[in-house]
Every structure is written in structure tokens, then in C-alpha cells.
Structure 1
Amino acid sequence: MNRVFEDQLMDIQSDMISLSLEYVENKAETVYIYVVLEDGLVSFDVFYKIGGFISEKSDVNEYLSEKINDSDDIQFSLLEYGIEDAEKIEVLFEENSKEVPTEIRLVYDVKNNSLKSNYRYDAMYEKNEDLSVSDVFDAWIQEEKSKLIT
């Protein structure tokens, strides 16, 4: 990858992280971002580790000492802006003649300011009509929860 492309990609990913942290007023330990860009399907979702617990965006107030505004409107805005960023990633890859990833998983460790990213390029949803984005997202949440138990 060339430097300009990498910098632009990092900027968009940073925007996603900032957006996700803003939603919880910077009170998360870890941010988990899930993006799908497959055959016209664009999806963005996020969950968090807060107080040692894994929390979906709709449940963060269960784990925060100071409650945030987690209204449906705010959650919808979070997803809407996240999708806009996902679309920017798709355009960036296309404009640079690079294969667009079908799935992106970002894990941002707030305390250590470290980002882990995982890109997948094979079609998942096109091949399996019974598989939904929420199925895979929910499975990832359960996977992260199980890591805390063991």
C-alpha cells in the first residue's frame, strides 16, 4: 500500500473510532467496530468494553456510572455516520484500484491507544442467504464476552 492511501485509510478509521467514543463520552476501555462492504451491502455497528463488561450500544448505561444519552435518535445517528465512513472506505479502495474488503473488524484499546484491524475479502453474505450481518455481529459480541469469562 502506498503511504497516501494508508494515511487516508487511517484517517477514516480514526473518524470511526472517534465517532464511537463520542457516543459513550469517551468512557469505554475498548471499542469494537464492525463494517460490511459486500455487493452493495454497507453496514456499520459498534460495541464496547466498559467496566470490564462487553456492552452493545443500546446497553451502555448498564455499565456506566454516569449515564449518557443513548436515545434511539442518537444511536441512529451513530450508525448513520458510521455508514458514511464505511462508504468512504469503499470509495478510497476503489479510487486506488484496490480490492474492497467485504468485512472490517477494528478493535481499539483506549488505554494503550492501539488499534487492531482485520480485513476480510471473501464474500460471506452473498454465498449464504440465511446469514445476516446481525448474526455475524452478534456472534462476535458473544466471542468477546466468552474471552472475559475464561
Structure 2
Amino acid sequence: MNKSFEDCFSELQADMVSICLEYVKNRADKIFIYCSFESDIISSDYYYKINGRIVERHKLNDAVLSSEKYDVSIERQRGVIKILNGNIGKIIEICKEYGREMPTEMKLVYDVQKNSLKATYKYELQYANDPVKTADDIAMEWFQQIQAENS
């Protein structure tokens, strides 16, 4: 039986959540995943809510007691980004295969306790027409927005 577009798309998003959850060994309240594809450039980032604090992936230990340290090594961070970017590449392929428009931006918010995923998509350019902004700038703006909403 052939999988539907929605099944393929959902599986890849679930894999993104899974790798980000594995990175924190299931010890997070929420996971925030940013994905971007503009001008043939794939980009991603991910953040967490841990103990009520919104933290970047390399600052997880700022949100925990000293006995609960996370491994935030560069190698592990790069490994997650490689998988996220690979999944974005696969999403590009399934969008082509099914004749669907590829989002320029995906924001995934996974609530660990509720086991619920919320996703928002944009299809218009977010930074490609801006003379100075990059995908990293947009990702950081979202991180700062999440921080402000949770402070």
C-alpha cells in the first residue's frame, strides 16, 4: 500500500522530534524546531523548554541542577542538525514527488508531556529577498519571541 503525502510528511516531522528528544534524553517540557528552505538553502535549528526556561541547544545545562547535566558537545549538536537538514531534504523530495508546494519555513512545537505536535508553515520568502537577513536570523528571532512569550 502506498503512503499518502501526509503520512510521509508526518513521519519526517516525527523523526525530527524524535532526534531532538533523544538529544535531551527525553528530559524536556517542550521542543521547538525551526526548518527553512529558500533559494536552495536548507537550514534548521532547535530549542527547548526545560524546567520552565527556554534555552538554546548548547545552553541546556543552564536550566538544570548540576547533577542532571546534558551532553551538549559540538558533535552531538552537529549530528542533530545533520538529521534535521536531511529530513528537510527528504520533505523537498516528497513535495516534488506528490506535486506539492514546499514550505519555505516550518516551525514545530512538540509538547513532551501532552505528546502533541503543533506545526506552522509559511510558503512565502522569509529572508531571501532581504539584503542582510539569513535563516539563522529568522531562527533567532523565533527563539527570542518564544523566550518573551514564556517570561
Q: Answer yes or no: same fold by TM over 0.5.
A: yes
Distance 2:89 2:127 in 1: 18
The question of whether the paired residues in 1 share the 8 Å contact of 2:30 and 2:50 is answered with yes
Deviation at 1:147, TM superposition (A): 1.1
Deviation at 1:125, TM superposition (A): 2.1
Residue matched to 2:45:
45
- Which portions of structure 1, spanning 4 or more consecutive aligned residues, are displaced by more than 3 angstroms? none
Residue matched to 1:75:
77
Distance 2:102 2:143 in 1: 24
Distance 1:54 1:14 in 2: 21
Q: 1:132 is matched with which residue: 134, 140, 149?
A: 134
Distance 1:90 1:123 in 2: 16
Residue matched to 1:15:
15
- Unaligned regions of 5+ residues in structure 2, if any? none
Residue matched to 1:145:
147
The question of whether the paired residues in 1 share the 8 Å contact of 2:24 and 2:70 is answered with yes
Distance 2:73 2:115 in 1: 28
- Unaligned regions of 5+ residues in structure 1, if any? none
Residue matched to 1:84:
86
Identity within the alignment, %: 35
Distance 1:15 1:77 in 2: 13
Equivalent residue of 1:112, what SS? coil
Distance 1:91 1:55 in 2: 32
The question of whether the paired residues in 1 share the 8 Å contact of 2:128 and 2:134 is answered with no
In the alignment, residue 79 of structure 2 is paired with which amino acid? Answer: S
What is the RMSD computed on CA atoms of the aligned residues?
1.1
Equivalent residue of 2:4, what SS? helix
The question of whether the paired residues in 1 share the 8 Å contact of 2:32 and 2:47 is answered with yes
Deviations 1:74-119 (A, max 9, x none): 1111111111011111111111111111000000111111111001
Residue matched to 1:27:
27
Deviation at 1:135, TM superposition (A): 1.1
Residue matched to 1:55:
55
Question: May I ask how many residue pairs the two structures share in their alignment?
Answer: 147
